[in-house]
Chains A and B, each alone.
Chain A
Amino acid sequence: MPVRPRPLSPHLEIYRWQIGNSLSILHRITGVGLALGLVALTYWLVSLASGEESYGMAMRLFANPVGWLFLFGWTFAFLYHLLNGVRHLLWDAGYGFERNQRHISGWVAVLGALGLTAAVAVVVWHGASR
C-alpha cells in the first residue's frame, strides 16, 4: 500500500497574512516579552530591598534612551496582552466569533494598546517635567 503524506495544518509560512493571525502571533510575542519584563521587575524589586545605593543603580540603568525604549515596549506589551487577553476570554466564553466582531475587537486591542501607551508616555512626560 503506498504511503501518502498526511495532511498538515496550515503552517506559518504558507498562512495568508491577515489581522487574525497577526494579532495571535503578537499576543505570543508580547507574552514572551513580558516574561523577560518579569526578570527586570525582579531585579528592580531586589534592588529596592537591597538599599538606596543598589536602587539608584537600577534606576540609572533604566534612565536612558535604551532603557526608556524597553520600558515603553513593556508598557505596550502589557496593555496589548491585557486587551487581547480579554478578547481571548470572551472567545472562550463563546462570544464575538463573527467576522466583523473579530476584526473590530482586534483593532480595538491593537489601537487601544497604542493609544494607551501614548497616554502613559504623556503622563510620564508630564510627571518628569513637573
Chain B
Amino acid sequence: MSLRSPLGRVLGTGSAKDGTGSWWAERVTSVALIPLTLWFFFSLLLLPSLDYLTVKAWLSVPMSSFLAVLSIAVLTYHSYLGTTVVIEDYVHATGLKILSLLTLRFLYVLCGGASIFAILHVAFGS
C-alpha cells in the first residue's frame, strides 16, 4: 500500500504527450473537407439531371470517382471524430460508453467502406 496522496502521485509526471491527436486530426480533415465537400455538393447540384445514366456517367469519370472516394474517406473520418466527442460528452456510464463508441466505429467503417466500394463499382463497371 502506498502512503502517497492521490495528488502526489500525479504531480510531476509530465504531460501524457498525446490526446491532441484527434483534436488536430479533426482540424486537418476540416480544412481538406472545404474544397472536397464543395466540389461534391456543387457537382451534384449542377448536373443537368439526377437520373441514373447521368449520375453514373458523371461518377465514372476518373477525376470524379477519385475525388468522390477522397471525399467519402475524409468525411467518414471527420464525422467519426466529431460524433465520438459527442458520445464521450454525454454518455457517462462506462459500459454503455464503450458499447456506443464501438458500435459507432463499426458503423463508420461499414458506411465508409460501402460508399467507397459502391463508387469503385460504378467507376470500374460491373
A-side interface residues toward B, CB under 8 Å? 28, 31-32, 34-35, 38-39, 41-42, 45-46, 48-49, 52, 55-56, 59, 78, 82, 85-86, 88-89, 92, 120, 123-124, 127
B50 within 8 A of A: yes
Pairs A–B under 8 Å by Cβ, sample size 5: A31-B86, A35-B79, A39-B111, A42-B112, A45-B119
- Main secondary structure on A side of the interface with B: helix
Bound CA–CA A82/B117 (angstroms)? 26
Partner of B83 from A35, A49, A78 at Cβ < 8 Å: A35
Could you tell me the distance in whole angstroms from the C-beta of A64 to the nearest C-beta in chain B?
Answer: 15
In chain B, residues 28-81, which have Cβ atoms closer than 8 Å to a Cβ of chain A?
30-31, 34, 37-38, 41, 45, 48-50, 52, 55-56, 59, 72, 75-76, 79
B98 within 8 A of A: no
Cβ-closest 4 pairs across A and B: A49-B118, A49-B121, A45-B118, A42-B111
**Interchain CB contact under 8 A, A82 and B118:** no
Could you tell me the distance in whole angstroms from the C-beta of A56 to the nearest C-beta in chain B?
Answer: 7
Given contacts A35-B79, A89-B30, contact A48 B86 (CB under 8 A): no
**Interchain CB contact under 8 A, A46 and B114:** yes
B interface bracket (residues with beta carbon within 8 Å of A): 20 to 34
Q: Which residues of A lie under 8 Å from residue B72 when comparing CB positions?
A: 41, 45
Partner of A78 from B41, B52, B86, B114 at Cβ < 8 Å: B41
**Interchain CB contact under 8 A, B83 and A32:** yes
Could you tell me the distance in whole angstroms from the C-beta of A8 to the nearest C-beta in chain B?
Answer: 14
Q: Which residues of B lie under 8 Å from residue A49 when comparing CB positions?
A: 117-119, 121-122, 126
Bound CA–CA A18/B110 (angstroms)? 39
Partner of A42 from B37, B55, B59, B114 at Cβ < 8 Å: B114
